[in-house]
């Protein structure tokens, strides 16, 4: 090991698709903020807004979309009520795209 060699990242063998949090979200701002913290720390989110009324769903969708944008990330629509939120770097291993292709 050289003086400037990189230390192996303990999470380097874990696929991002294995870290996805899937949630049926409720209109709880504190819980939504906790989920964004997880997104910021590199955990992709699949969130279903189906059980929310239209106003609450739009509010939280805008919140998560804005958070993904601020983190230089992406929002991917899976269906009418379900979206994937992830940082761009989380797509680098290809497993998130593979996950989306399998849906």
Q: Which pLDDT does position 14 carry in this prediction? A: 80
At residue 59, does pLDDT exceed 80? yes
Q: What is the pLDDT of residues 13-57, one digit of tens each?
A: 788 888 899 989 999 999 999 999 999 999 999 999 999 999 999
Q: Which domains does the chain have, with CATH numbers?
A: 39-101 (3.30.110)
Percentage of the chain modeled with pLDDT above 70: 88
pLDDT classification of 12: cutoffs 50, 70, 90:
low
pLDDT classification of 8: cutoffs 50, 70, 90:
very low
Class of residue 40 by CB neighbours under 10 A (exposed 0-12, middle 13-18, buried 19+): middle
| Residue 100: alpha-carbon gap to chain centroid | 12
């Amino acid at each position: 090991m050289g003086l400037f060699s990189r230390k192996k990242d303990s999470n380097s063998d874990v696929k991002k698709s294995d870290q996805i949090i899937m949630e049926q979200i409720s209109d709880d701002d504190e819980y939504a903020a906790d989920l964004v913290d997880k997104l910021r720390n590199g955990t992709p989110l699949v969130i279903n807004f189906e059980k929310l009324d239209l106003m609450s769903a739009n509010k939280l969708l805008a919140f998560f979309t804005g958070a993904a944008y601020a983190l230089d990330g992406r929002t991917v629509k899976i269906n009418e009520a379900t979206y994937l939120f992830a940082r761009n770097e989380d797509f680098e291993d290809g497993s998130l795209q593979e996950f989306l292709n399998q849906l």
